[in-house]
Amino acid sequence: MRTGIYPGSFDPVTYGHLDIIKRSRNICDRLIVAVARNSEKSCLFSSQERMELIQGCCGEFGDFIEVVAFDGLLVEYCRERKVSFIIRGLRSVSDFEYENPMAAVNRKLSPEIETVFLTSREETSLISSRLVREVAGYHSDVSALVPPLVAGKIRQKFPLGR
């Protein structure tokens, strides 16, 4: 069984994230969606809330995915969980410039774990969690960027039309 891991902050989970999860079914038998607990980053949602939102949006995937929270070095977590490869989504060249050095370091630390890049589909290539948070911060509608469950939770924090 080939297990992949899709790590990220997912703050919040977007249609772009869900597309990468869906397309991961083509390359692995099982996917761990790993929500990073990053104490240096100020998040809109707690790691528990982010996990619940991902689970709520991924019911169609059944046993294919497992949603977990983790901290520490990704490759160490991958070794513990017997992960074959890390899946990363790329929206732009700047994403590649950020991700490629991390993949190289991960390969140095754990040569047995591959990094696989999936490029975003055109319709999700401009969506980022940061953009969603910024739009929401102006009390604007984010429903074109995130699933309805997530949009509802965001509206609780940033009511529309203020």
The active-site residue, picked from 9, 17, 50, 88, is 17
The catalytically annotated residue of 23, 37, 79, 91 is 91
Pick the catalytic residue from 9, 84, 129, 133.
Answer: 129
How far apart (Å, rounded) are the C-alpha atoms in residues 139 and 46? Answer: 20
Residue 74's closest CA among 38, 49, 124?
38
Quick check: is 139 catalytic?
A: no
In eight-state DSSP terms, residue 55 is H
Q: DSSP secondary structure string, 27-78?
A: T-SEEEEEEE--TTS--SS-HHHHHHHHHHH-GGGGGGEEEEEE-S-HHHHH
d(CA 68, CA 11) in angstroms, rounded, equals 14
| 91 given a catalytic annotation | yes
Q: Strands, E, within 9-122: which ranges?
A: 30-36, 65-70, 85-90, 114-119
Catalytic residue of the set 41, 82, 108, 162:
41
- 23 in active site: no
Name which of 126, 129, 128 is nearest 45 in CA terms.
Answer: 129
Catalytic residue check, 129: yes
Residues classed as catalytic: 17, 41, 91, 129
